Amino acid sequence: MGNLALVNALNRDALRAGLESYFADVGYSPRMKEAMIEATLEALKIEFESLLPDGCTWAWNTTTITGSHGLSDDEIISLMISAQMAVAHQLPEIEDRVRAECGE
């Protein structure tokens, strides 16, 4: 995968770094912040995979999509952006669930 934009869009560590920055000044405890990052990443994985063609999964540790998909790099990036937007709308529910799980 030579497209740097695509690699960054599918890289779990890059996405995690972005979420760490996003949640940095929210005022969460360290435990709550970590739980929010992990829950948001999991929601993103589920949402992104739901947009992929049947039989495809996102192997985020290797920044690849497994299965036969026939999608261009631009189409994959567009799907990731759509998944990110969907998860952004889910953040209040994710936060409620994480607060209950963390007891905060």
Q: How many domains does the chain have?
A: 1
Gap between the Cα atoms of 77 and 101, Å rounded: 32
The chain-wide mean pLDDT, for the chain, equals 87
Would you say 36 and 98 are in contact if contact means Cβ atoms under 8 Å apart? yes
pTM for this entry: 0.87
pLDDT digits (tens, 9 = 90+) for 59-99: 877 788 888 778 888 888 899 899 999 999 999 999 999 99
Q: What is the dihedral of CA 43, 48, 52, 55, to 10 degrees?
A: -40
Where residue 50 falls among pLDDT bands split at 50, 70, 90? very high
Q: What is the DSSP letter of 1?
A: -
For residue 43, the enclosing domain spans 4-102
Alpha helices in 1-104 (DSSP H): 4-10, 12-22, 30-51, 73-102
- pLDDT of amino acid 1: 43
